[in-house]
Amino acid sequence: MRLYVRVLIALLALLAAACGRADEDGSRLRIGYMARLTHAPALTGLDSGRFERALPDVQLESRPFEVGNAVVEALFADELDVAVLGPNPAINGFVRSHGELRIVSGVSSGGSAFVVGAKSHIRAPSDLHGASIGTPQIASTQDVALRAYLRRHGLASTLAGGDVRVLPLGSAEIRQLLTRGEIDGAWISEPLVSELVEAGKARVLVDERDEWPDGRYPAAVLVVRKRYQEAQPENVRRFLRSLRGEIAWVEAHRPEALALTRAGIGRRLGKSPPEAVLAEAARRVAFSPDPLLPALEKVARDAEAEGFLPPGRSRSGLWVDVDAPGNTTEDVTP
């Protein structure tokens, strides 16, 4: 009986290993992304068919998500191979997976702002005592940006109260609660910023670009599962080259790219942002493959200071240049 059990266990182990190898066999590439303006190159690359033409021998499977943390969980579950998502979920995923997720490209920068109600009394950080502020999700890129901003101005942020109450809310909830005056403001991304401002429901208190020395900070990056990248490096390289081309096309052909992005958002969310709103929103966003490594490190330090990352954890290997010989990794920690 013992021999039978040992043989069965060995067979099951071999079967599991074989299944694992099959998952990395390169016949498919599973792509995660969000239907957002800052993810425009992913939307245009998918909807134009250019990604498919760049990998004609690979079956592309794409899946939209609402929040970055859900993308990370799908990567952890081996349901995705590559994904476009915000820098905070990407860094958090790298640390939690002990390096299994890697950033291989930047995608966009900018596109976030701190808005308050159009008639709000809030004009300066000192006016925020007792305020209730919404963010898309706890530990999201915008959530960490808000908490870091409050901390820099000597304000404590909590769910229960403190100086400022920070509430994780969906876009629809932020829109409704801010309009009704049930929250005082929100740190959100485009095009919701421009939608609320254009409708006269909010005004911009802080354009996040003004919080950075050169006005640039990462809004979206491309991550890859390490196992997939090591097993199928050519698939990753080809997809990355196609994405870089798409990023350059979006930046160089903004009217056409915004029209395609607007249609893509509408198909996925059931509603397209108004054309004028999206055009205004795009003024706050730049598209580039530059990962902005110094800014990524600041993002990581802010998340660590807010308790969303373990203190002192190495970030060596967070960024990898898949085109370099030996896939050079880089520690973004100075």
pLDDT tens across 241-267, in order? 999 999 999 999 999 999 999 999 999
Same domain, 205 and 262: no
206 in the same domain as 228 = no
Residue 36 lies in a domain: yes
Q: Is residue 80 part of a domain?
A: yes
Q: Which of 42, 31, 29 is nearest to 219 (CA)?
A: 42
65 forms bridges with which residues in the sheet? 34
Angstrom CA distances, 10 to 2, 13, 22, 147, 290, stand at 12, 5, 18, 50, 46
In a shared domain, residues 141 and 180: yes
pLDDT for residue 242:
98
Q: Identify any residues that bridge with 192 across adjacent strands, giving them in sequence order.
A: none
pLDDT of residue 9: 36
Tell me which of 211, 231, 251 is where a domain ends.
Answer: 211
- Residue 247 sits in the same domain as residue 313: yes
| 5 domain-assigned | no
Report the C-alpha gap between 313 and 304 in whole angstroms.
Answer: 9
Domain count, the chain: 2
Residues 6+ apart with CB under 8 A from 326: none
Of 185, 211, 237, the domain-final residue? 211
Domain containing 164 — which CATH number?
Answer: 3.40.190.10
Please tell me the predicted confidence (pLDDT) of residue 327: 57
CA distances from 245 to 83, 241, 289 (A): 17, 6, 9
Say whether both 223 and 235 belong to one domain.
Answer: yes
Same domain, 46 and 91: yes
pLDDT for position 25: 72
Residue numbers in the chain where pLDDT is lower than 50: 1-22, 330-331, 333-334
DSSP structure class, residue 333 = -
Strands of the sheet containing 164-168, edge to edge, are 157-158, 164-168, 131-135, 185-189, 112-117, 202-207
Whether residue 259 is found in the same domain as residue 282 = yes
Q: Are residues 156 and 300 located together in one domain of the fold?
A: no
Both structure tokens of 191: 């095009």
Residue 159's closest CA among 135, 188, 126, 184?
A: 135
10 occurs within a structural domain: no
User: CB-based burial of residue 314 (10 Å sphere; 0-12 exposed, 13-18 middle, 19+ buried)?
Assistant: exposed
pLDDT at 19: 44
End-to-end CA gap in the chain: 57
The pTM for the full model equals 0.87
Domain boundaries, position 171: 112-211
The predicted structure's pLDDT at residue 159: 63
Residue 46 shares a structural domain with residue 190: no
Residues with Cβ < 8 Å from 42, sequence gap 6 or more? Answer: 31, 33, 84, 107, 243, 246
In a domain, 18, yes or no: no
Mark which of 177, 211, 245 sits at the end of a domain.
211
Instruction: Check whether residue 50 and residue 140 sit in a common domain.
Output: no
Whether residue 6 is contained in a domain is answered as no
Can you give the pLDDT at residue 324? Answer: 72
Shared domain for 117 and 106, answered yes or no, is no
Same domain, 173 and 239: no
Q: Where are the beta strands (DSSP E) in 40-122?
A: 59-65, 82-85, 101-110, 112-117
Q: Is the omega angle on the peptide bond into residue 294 within 30 degrees of 0, that is, cis?
A: no
Domain assignment of residue 301, yes or no: yes
- Give residues with Cβ within 8 angstroms of 19, minimum separation 6: none
Asked if the structure places residue 8 within a domain, the reply is no
